[in-house]
Amino acid sequence: MRFVLCTVLLVVVLTPTCSYADEETSTTPVDSSVVVKKPVDADVAAIWQGSEKFVSAFNSQDAAAVAALWSESGEYIDESGTATVGRQAIEQAYAEFFKANAGAKISVFIDSVRLLSDDAAIEDGWAMLTPAGSGQSTASRYTAIHVKKDGEWLLASVRDEATASPTETGNLADLEWLVGTWWAEEHGHKFESDCKWIANNSFIERRYTLTQVDGTKLSGVQIIGWNAYASEVQSWDFSHGGGYAIGTWTPIEGGWKAEVQGVTGDGSPTSAINYLMRLDDNAYAWKSTDRVLGGAALSDTEDLVIKRQQ
């Protein structure tokens, strides 16, 4: 199919651009159970939705709504090891935090949700706290224990852990050259991206916009960081249409390989292997291979050279 919608490709691989060459979709089915990253189990889906409710309540600074996500005897343990026990105490703690940090926002990046039994699950991920104004964002890892009571999943325990920045570990040093503004143009389609350090240089944020021939703009954001739990570089991607993906990055000669698994805004599982090859300080080549959308294989993209905006 010619000129597959860029919105589909942005969600399929959540990469910096689309392939504007002819697209051929293989008729060979692919085992989608291998590539599904979005929860397909109803209980796991409910836990993911609970995380979304937490973000919404936190960013609305609604302490009661945040605490309602905990069990009556739930606990929260902060980065210093201080424990707050009980839903009422947790509500009070959040109310005090919101009073002292008006306008603070949080983003949550889930690494995994695993069912331990019919009524217990464990969730691992990252949280990024951004204060109002020009304050510096901070990041932390978290582990959450969920319990199911009367058909509802609630938080039994949440523990935060501080993360080390790459300025200390050097784990993202080989990607520092990405910081800056980039552009590419092909067949009338224009791609622009802006990369910058965030959260005390713990992550690289890449925001991108694709302008199609008719002027339609598609956008997305990617966060790249070091996952100390898994000892690997990871990325979390979010597209304009509600799609998302998680990528595992591996250094290779001359660049990086990212194995990406995700889901489109309409729930179709996706996967791809993307290659980012550094040509010099002001240019890199990008290519996406082994692409899968909804269980069907897509053809590889052509190499695209992306240049630094001078």
Residue type, 61: Q
State the average pLDDT for the chain.
82
pLDDT average, residue stretch 84-112: 93
CB of 107 closer than 8 Å to CB of 79: no
Question: 295 - beta bridge partners?
Answer: none
Q: How far is CA 148 from CA 71, 78, 159, in A?
A: 9, 23, 19
Q: What is the pTM of this model?
A: 0.58
Q: What's residue 303's pLDDT?
A: 82
Q: What is the pLDDT of residues 208-252, one digit of tens each?
A: 998 988 988 888 899 999 887 778 899 999 887 888 899 999 998
| Per-position DSSP letters for 215-252, written without gaps between them | S-EEEEEEEEEEETTTTEEEEEEEETTS-EEEEEEEEE
Domains, the chain, with CATH or none: 6-36+166-308 (2.40.128.20), 42-162 (3.10.450.50)
Q: Residue 157 is inside which H or E element, if any?
A: strand 152-162
Q: Cα separation of 90 and 268, whole Å?
A: 37
Q: Cα separation of 12 and 23, whole Å?
A: 13
CB of 261 closer than 8 Å to CB of 32: no
CB of 206 closer than 8 Å to CB of 224: yes
